[in-house]
Amino acid sequence: MKKQDQRPFMILTIPCLVVLFALALIPLIYAIYLSCHNVTLRTLFSQPDFIGIKNYVRIIGDREVLHSLLISGIFSTSSVSLSLAIGLGLALLLYTSGGIQKILRPLFLVPMIITPVVAGVSWRFMLDPDLGVISHVLSVLGIEKQPWLSSSSLALLTVILINVWQWTPLVMLIIIAGLYNLPTAVYEAAQVDGASTFQTLRYITLPLLKPVILIALIIRTMDTIKEFDTIFILTRGGPGASTQILSIDLYFRGFKFYHFSEAAALGIIVLFLIIFVSRYYIKITGEA
Amino acid sequence: MRLRKLLVGLSCILVLSSLTGATMCSAGQTVKILTYEVLATEAMEEFQQEFEKATGVGIKWEFASEPEVWDKISMEMIARTGAYDVFPVPFSKIAEFVAADFLEPLDQYVQNKAHPVWLDMEDFVPGALGAMKVKGKLYALPFFMWEAILVYRKDIYEKVGIDQPPTTLTEFEEVVKKTTIDLDGDGKTDVYGFTGRGSVEPHSTQSLTFAYSYGGEFFDKDMKPTITTPQFVKGVDLYVRLLQNFGPPGAATHDWWDIQSLFLEGKVSNMIDATTEWSPMFENPEISKVVGKVGHALAPQEKRPGGYMYVCGWGIPVSSKNKDVAWEFIQWATSKGFQFRGAVTGKKGRVDVTSVPVIQTKELAKDYPYLVPHPMVEAMNTVHPDYFPRIPEYTEVMTAYLREIQKAIAGEVTTERALETASKKIYDIMKAAGYYR
C-alpha cells in the first residue's frame, strides 16, 4: 500500500530527474572523463590517451593556479565581507516602511538588475583615466587621474568594489526579508525591560538574523568563487595576472589555449572547493 | 480512429515539407558568414547584390565583436555543426585552425573559377597571400591588410617647432618627449606624446615593431625564444618607456578601441599601430576632432623596418555544408573589381585592399593622397614575414609575452625582468607542445 502511494510522486519527479541528468550530470561526467585524458587542439578528434590524475597533479603544482587561487581567495573574502557589512547596514536602515525608505529601497536594487557584462563595460568607460566621467569628477575635486584598472595594486581593489556595488543589494534584500519575519513579541519584551537600541540590535536582532545572514553568506561566497563576466570585461585578469581569479584562469586554459583536459581538471577542483565551502557554511547554519 | 488518420496525414505533410526544404537548402542558396565588422566587410554588405545577382546565392551575415567571433569559432571547431560557411582567418590564428583540421585547403579550389574575372592569384599582394599558407598549402584568400605607419599631429609638431617627422627610433623618442604638452598651462598634460596598446589581446603586439626594428627576433631556427637578446630588449624597452613616460595613464590596459578614441579626441601626438586602417577615419568630421591635422609618414626605424602587417583572409571551415557556394563568395569578395568599387565608390571607402592592381589605380591615390602610394605602399613592401609567429600555440605564447609586458608598462617590473620571465614561460609552453625533442 505504501509503495503504491509513492508511485505518483516518483512519476512526477521523472521529468525533473531527466532535466537534471541532461543538464548537470552528463556535463559533469564528461568533465571528469575529459580531466583524466589528454585532449588538446592537436588531439581534438583522435582517441585521447588516458592519463589518470596527471592533469590534477599538474594543476595543483602549477604556480599560476596557486596565484589564481590566492586572488580568488582575496576577491571572495573581501567582496563577501564588505557586501555583508554594507548590506546589513542598509537593510537595518531601510526595512521600516517610512516614506523615504520606500523611494530608496528600489533605487538601491538598480545595480543588481543591470546585466554584469553591461555593468562591466559601463564601469570600464567610466573609469578610463582620460575619457571617463569618474576621473573628470575627481579632477574637479583636485584629485589626480588614477589608473584604476591598469595598476596591479588598484585593479584588484577596483574589481572588488564594483562587485560589492553590484551585489550588496542582494544581501540587503535577503536581510530585509529576514527582518520582516522576526517575531515582534521579543522586541516588545525588550522594550518593557528597557533595552537600548544598540542592546536590541546586539542581543536580539543579530542573533535572530543569523540563519538569514548565513544564507546570504553562502550565496555570495558561491557567486564570488565562480565570478567571471564583470572581471573579464574590466581587466581580462590583468594587469599581468593581478585580477586573474580561478574562473578566468580556467577560461584561458580551455577556450584560448585549448588545454581542454587541464581546464576540465581545474573546473572539477573549483567545484569541490565550492562544495567544501558551502558544506562548511551549511554545517555552521545547522549548528546555529 | 479519425484522429489517428488526421495525425498520420499531418505527419506525412510535415515530413514531405521538411524534405522539400532540405532539398532547397542543399542547393546552396545561402552562404552563412560569421565575422567581425571592418571597413572591408561594410563594403561587402554594401555591394552584396552584385554577388547575389551574378550567382543567385544569398548572403547571411552574422556579426559579432572580434573576441566573440573567436569564441564562436572555438565552439564550432569542437562541435562541427556546419553553422558557418565562411569566416575570417587572420594570419596569427591560421596555424591554430590548421592544427585542429578545421580549415578546408583551398589549392584544389583555385582552378574552379566561378566567374571569368573574379579570381586572379597574381593580383594579391605577395606578402598577404603568403601569410595565408601553412606548410605551402593555401587555406584562405586575403581580404584586408593593414600596415603600421606613423600618424602624427601636424599642428602639435608646428607648435613645438618640429619640421620633419622622425625617421629613426632614437629621433622618435625625442619627438615624443617634445610633443607631450600642456596646452592650457595648468601643469597637467593635455596631449600625450605617444600611445600604444598594452592590453593582453593576441594582436596587441606593437612592441614587436620596435623590437624587430632594432634587429630582434621572437624565435630562433629551433623555435627557442630569443626575446632576451640585447636588440629585442632595447626595442621593447623603448616602447615601454614611451608609454610610461609620455603615454596616457592606464596605457597598460588600453586596447585597439581605447587608443583609436584617444587619437580621435585629439589627446595624442604620435601613434604607430594598424594605422593605415584608421587614417580615413581621422579625416571624418563626424567622429574626429583632428580633421586636417594628421600627418602620415613611414614608421621610424632603427636597423630595419619594424615590419608590422595584419592580414586577414576568408576561409572555409571543414564543417561547412556549402563549400562550393562559400568558395564563390570568397572569389567575389577578394576580386579586384569588388575591391576597387568598395575602395573608390563605396559609401565609406576603404584603403585596406589586398589587390595590387587596385593599389596601383589613380583613383585610390586621388582618394587617399596622404596614404597612397606614400607611405602605405612602402610600408607594405617592408613587412616582416613572421611578424606574428605562425604556430598553433600563438595565443598562449603571445598571452605569456603580453602579460609580462603589461606589468612592465604598469611599472611593476623592468623590461629586462619581464622579458626574462616571459622567455621562460614561452620556453615551457613550446616544450610542452613538443617542439624540443
How would DSSP label each residue in B23-58? Answer: HHHHT--EEEEEE---HHHHHHHHHHHHHHHHH--E
Dihedral sign from CA coordinates of A130, A136, A140, A143? negative
pLDDT given for residue B24 in this prediction: 33
pLDDT given for residue A2 in this prediction: 54
For the ranges A262-266, B26-30, B139-143, B228-232, the lowest mean pLDDT is seen at B26-30
**Under an 8 A CB cutoff, do A237 and B399 touch?**
no
**What's the CA gap between A149 and A155, in Å, rounded?**
4
User: Residues of A with CB below 8 A from B393's CB?
Assistant: 257
**ipTM (interface predicted TM):** 0.79
**Percent of chain A whose predicted confidence (pLDDT) is above 90:** 57
Q: B303 versus B388: which is more confidently predicted?
A: B303
pLDDT given for residue B71 in this prediction: 86
Indicate the residue of B101, B200, B250 with minimum beta-carbon distance to A147: B250
User: Residues of B with CB below 8 A from A147's CB?
Assistant: 249-250, 252, 410
**Under an 8 A CB cutoff, do B100 and A256 touch?**
no
CA of A60: how far to CAs of A238, A263, B277, in Å?
Answer: 22, 12, 45
List all residues 6 or more positions away from A84 whose beta carbon is below 8 Å from its beta carbon: A171, A213, A216, A217, A220
Mean of pLDDT over chain A: 90
Asked if A250 contacts A270 with a C-beta cutoff of 8 angstroms, the reply is yes
Closest Cα in chain B, distance from residue A49 (Å)? 15
Q: B120 versus A130: which is more confidently predicted?
A: B120
Pairing status of strand B30-35 against strand B58-63: parallel
**What's the CA gap between A210 and A208, in Å, rounded?**
6
Chain mean position to CA B428:
28
**What's the CA gap between B359 and B343, in Å, rounded?**
10
**What's the CA gap between A242 and A64, in Å, rounded?**
11
Indicate the residue of B77, B392, B406 with minimum beta-carbon distance to A239: B406
**Under an 8 A CB cutoff, do A240 and B248 touch?**
no
**Under an 8 A CB cutoff, do A147 and B77 touch?**
no
pLDDT (average), residues A144-171: 92
**Percent of chain B whose predicted confidence (pLDDT) is above 70:** 93
pLDDT (average), residues B254-273: 92
Residue A173: pLDDT band with limits 50, 70, 90? very high
pLDDT given for residue A29 in this prediction: 94
CA of B12: how far to CAs of B1, B9, B22, B25, in Å?
Answer: 17, 5, 15, 20
**What's the CA gap between B21 and B16, in Å, rounded?**
9
User: Residues of A with CB below 8 A from B78's CB?
Assistant: 44
Mean of pLDDT over chain B: 89
pLDDT (average), residues A163-171: 96
Specify the residue for cell string 560589492.
A164
Closest Cα in chain B, distance from residue A6 (Å)? 34
**What's the CA gap between A134 and A149, in Å, rounded?**
13
Pairing status of strand B149-153 against strand B141-147: unpaired
Specify the residue for cell string 581580462.
A236
CA of A79: how far to CAs of A67, A89, A164, B58, in Å?
Answer: 18, 15, 6, 51
Indicate the residue of B74, B396, B410 with minimum beta-carbon distance to A239: B410
Residue B362 has pLDDT above 90, yes or no: yes
Closest Cα in chain A, distance from residue B194 (Å)? 14
Asked if B434 contacts B242 with a C-beta cutoff of 8 angstroms, the reply is no
Residue B414 has pLDDT above 90, yes or no: yes
**Under an 8 A CB cutoff, do A149 and B250 touch?**
yes
A26: part of which helix (H) or strand (E)?
A: helix A26-35
**What's the CA gap between A125 and A138, in Å, rounded?**
15
- By C-alpha distance, which of B148, B111, B117 is closest to B310? B148
Indicate the residue of B248, B253, B393 with minimum beta-carbon distance to A130: B248
**What's the CA gap between B201 and B199, in Å, rounded?**
6
pLDDT given for residue A189 in this prediction: 92
**What's the CA gap between B263 and B194, in Å, rounded?**
10
DSSP letter, residue B291: T
- By C-alpha distance, which of A136, A279, A178, A160 is closest to A231? A160
Is B251 in a helix, a strand, or coil?
Answer: helix
Asked if B151 contacts B263 with a C-beta cutoff of 8 angstroms, the reply is yes
User: Residues of A with CB below 8 A from B258's CB?
Assistant: 128
pLDDT given for residue B297 in this prediction: 95
Q: Which three cell numbers stand for residue B360?
A: 596601383
* pLDDT tens sequence across A232-248: 999 989 888 899 999 99
- A·B CB contacts under 8 A: 89
**What's the CA gap between A150 and A238, in Å, rounded?**
8
Q: Which three cell numbers stand for residue B138?
A: 593555401
User: Residues of A with CB below 8 A from B404's CB?
Assistant: 240
**Under an 8 A CB cutoff, do B99 and A147 touch?**
no
- Give the chain B residue nearest A128 (alpha carbons): B250
List all residues 6 or more positions away from A56 whose beta carbon is below 8 Å from its beta carbon: A35, A265, A268, A269
Chain B residues whose C-beta is within 8 A of a chain A C-beta are 71, 74, 77-78, 96, 99-101, 198-201, 248-254, 258, 261-262, 265, 267, 392-393, 395-396, 399, 403-404, 406-407, 409-412
Please state whether B82 falls in left (phi above 0), alpha (psi between -120 and 50) or beta: left
pLDDT (average), residues A256-263: 92
Q: Helix, strand, coil: what percent of chain B each, to 5?
A: 45, 15, 40
**What's the CA gap between B42 and B350, in Å, rounded?**
9
**What's the CA gap between A73 and B214, in Å, rounded?**
43
For the ranges A27-31, B136-140, B253-257, B352-356, the lowest mean pLDDT is seen at B253-257
**Percent of chain A whose predicted confidence (pLDDT) is above 70:** 97
Specify the residue for cell string 564528461.
A30
Q: Is the peptide bond before B230 cis (omega within 30 degrees of 0)?
A: no
